[in-house]
Amino acid sequence: MTQSKARERRVAADEGEQRLDRWLRRAFPQAPQALLQRLLRSGQIRVDGRRAKADTRLAAGQQVRLPPQLMASEPETRVERPLDPDLVEALRQSILYEDAWVMALNKPAGLAVQGGSGQQQSIDRLAAGLVPQGAPAPRLVHRLDRDTSGVLLLAKRADAARHLAESFKGRQARKLYWALVQGVPKRRAGRIDRSLAKRGAEGRQRMQGDREGLQAETLYATAAIAPPKASLLLLAPLTGRTHQLRAHLEAIGHPILGDAKYGARKDPAFPEQGLMLHAAELALPHPEDETTLRIAAPPPHAFLQACRALGLDPDAAERALPQLEARGA
């Protein structure tokens, strides 16, 4: 039955410190992404009576106004698509670390972290299959692009989720990435300080340098070179903007191999193997006792295969770490 009036829903104690769009997708997984975006743009979804954006951070106890169009999209009996058992098993095999508080995966490239338009399976949903039936599903506390591989951390408890979210928000999490890029940087190590803003028509948006945008900083160090074609870089983002590494590397003239969205050219000599970006390591305070939790993920076969094809030594990444640390990573 179509709802004729808007309703309000209170943010539960264990739902705070997450983005409004993520909260909406969890509450209304059947709602089309286009509908959510339209309702947010038009101000029909409000938080404590005020207009809110998709990236508004919710706090426990706040009231979210849900317009009738959204309530009408919620069927009385929700039919969930079953979890893909092969994907669940692949994720189980990718677990890097697990305790009573957290779970870390070596996320495969090509699998979306969160569901959305056209995404039938995602880690956010598949994670329910990684714990015993009836146990709370592990929760996302940060994101990786669909085509990026590497360390992805999930929280197994509500208090862990809040603690880890604060660590990312407060920049206590140290992230290390490997990237294969086009060309060879003139400066072998440095800092990219370039504010970013989302530009372009909806559905074709990309992050671009903009003085009025959000501050974004990335440290980099060159680990190995194959002049003039390509280099293996270590990257340490000091901020966590959408597509930050991809946009920053395009800005300095060295886009990531396989990243056509951000300037990478197709090269007949290099077989197309997807985005060559890997989240190699993550270190942050453990939510139980604040000791440093450090998790490393080996690069996928496709990344190592690309290194070999280009004549780049992946072991050089470890030797380049001091260069990056000297820059303040």
Distances (CA, A) of 163 to 11, 96, 140, 159, 285: 17, 20, 12, 6, 9
Phi-psi region of 147 (alpha: psi -120 to 50; beta: other; left: phi over 0): alpha
pLDDT at 123: 93
Cβ 55 vs Cβ 45: under 8 Å: no
Cβ 175 vs Cβ 144: under 8 Å: no
Distance, in Å, from the CA atom of 234 to the CA atom of 179, rounded to the nearest integer, reads 7
Q: What is the DSSP letter of 13?
A: G
Instruction: State the chain's maximal CA–CA distance in angstroms.
Output: 65
Confidence category of residue 191, pLDDT binned at 50, 70, 90: very high
Instruction: Note the pLDDT tens digit of each residue in 243-258.
Output: 999 999 999 999 999 9
Angle at 193 between CA 191 and CA 199, to 5 degrees: 135
State yes or no: pLDDT of 101 exceeds 80. Answer: yes
Total residues belonging to the chain: 329
Confidence category of residue 1, pLDDT binned at 50, 70, 90: very low
Q: Which active-site residues does the annotation give?
A: 145
Confidence category of residue 223, pLDDT binned at 50, 70, 90: very high
User: Mean pLDDT score of the chain, rounded to an integer?
Assistant: 88
Distance, in Å, from the CA atom of 223 to the CA atom of 312, rounded to the nearest integer, reads 9
Q: Across the beta sheet with 50-51, what order do the strands follow? A: 7-10, 63-66, 46-47, 50-51
Of 10-14, 166-170, 202-206, least confident by mean pLDDT is 10-14
